[in-house]
Amino acid sequence: MILQPNEVLHQGAGLTMNHLLSMKDLNPETINSLIEEAELISKGKVPELRKKFTAAYLFFEPSTRTKMSFEMAAHRLGISLLNFVPEHSSSTKGESLYDTVKTLEAIGTDLVVIRHSEDAYYQDLKDRISIPLINAGDGKGEHPTQSLLDLLTIHQEFGKFNKLNIVIAGDIFHSRVARSNAYALSKLGANVYLSAPDIWQDDSLPYDYVSMDEAVEMSDVLMMLRVQHERHGSEMDWTKEEYHQMYGLTLEREKRMKDTSIIMHPAPVNRGVEIADELVECERSRIFKQISNGVFMRMAILYRLLEKGAI
């Protein structure tokens, strides 16, 4: 079913921005309107762009799910993609990220999606470019589109956020997903808790820490995080097996979860480390549902930025 733009997307109450950079920028009304729009798309009500748009995806860090789902979202909306490969670009010659984006803007690109290892890389761009920018992950900062697809998944399950107990567990200190989700979920009325080894806790986040044994018994949503080996200055203090037993979601711990609770993970998953291999696709797991929802949510975001010119 193809609907015309004015039939699918409403102008959600809340903030109006021509970029999507941080979940701190979105209020509950805007978040809920994006969830509604992505849900319509998931049911086959695909919006139709009124002109041909071109987007460029600049991924300076490896990605499978985020990059591929953005590409699928563009494909389904009829958006043309420019092939940008950092290793084959002028960034290897010392060109700044700003000059790269300005070049893409100058040749007619309508939107850019960027993943970068530098925290808040977008600060140097957001007020100096005239095309929309989507943050697909900045260092240890945020990952707003991952958060929005996670919120869609939770809403599909429970129909609400208020008073849900949500525990985000794992490598908190290095996780942009943890930050984006904690900010957003607390705005939406959820009770947010964190669980992590002492060395991976982040005191800048104003949420209580609980043990994994407490987490499995109290959570409605248990959101596991990947151990981000690439961001650690040294090897883990534990073997993979030791970490799994002390801080991971083991088979034994899963048995103590509430009947209605669900497991989430932004992926990629270190099977047998943060979560038992058998639980990745178990009945209460929503990990692959999150991946599917990523396409729908990113379609809603791309559509709104390109067709409406703002979030």
Same-domain status, 52 and 152: no
Q: Give residue 228's pLDDT.
A: 73
> Residue 9, by phi and psi: left (phi above 0), alpha (psi -120 to 50) or beta?
beta
Q: Give residue 60's pLDDT.
A: 95
Same-domain status, 85 and 138: yes
Those residues with Cβ within 8 angstroms of residue 309's Cβ, 6 or more apart along the chain or in another chain: 18, 132
Q: Give residue 27's pLDDT.
A: 96
CB atoms within 10 A of CB 7: 12
**Angle of helix 28-42 relative to helix 287-303, nearest 10 degrees?**
110
Same-domain status, 113 and 199: no
CB 272 within 8 A of CB 240: yes
Same-domain status, 36 and 8: yes
Q: Give residue 12's pLDDT.
A: 37
CA distance 66 to 53: 20
Contacts 24+ apart (CB under 8 A), 93-97: 97/58, 97/121, 97/124, 97/125
Same-domain status, 203 and 300: no
Q: Where would I find the beta strands (DSSP E) of the chain?
A: 2-3, 46-47, 54-59, 80-82, 111-116, 133-138, 165-169, 191-195, 208-209, 221-224, 262-264
Q: How far is CA 176 from CA 107, 118, 119, 137, 276, in A?
A: 32, 12, 10, 7, 23
CA dihedral 193, 197, 200, 205 (to 10 degrees): 20
Between CA 131 and CA 221, with CA 30 as vertex, the angle to 5 degrees is 115
CB 275 within 8 A of CB 286: no
Instruction: Read off the amino acid at residue 206.
Output: P
Same-domain status, 40 and 94: yes
pTM: 0.92
Q: Give residue 37's pLDDT.
A: 97
Burial of 4 per CB tally in 10 Å (0-12, 13-18, 19+):
exposed
Q: Give residue 231's pLDDT.
A: 55
Same-domain status, 139 and 158: no
CB 238 within 8 A of CB 281: no
For residue 269, the domain's CATH number is: 3.40.50.1370
Residues constituting the chain: 311
Matching residue, tokens 């563009």: 74
Domain residue limits at 172? 145-286
Same-domain status, 139 and 162: no
> How many structural domains is the chain composed of?
2
Same-domain status, 163 and 184: yes
Same-domain status, 195 and 239: yes
pLDDT lower than 50: segments of the chain? 1-15
Same-domain status, 149 and 282: yes
Same-domain status, 90 and 127: yes
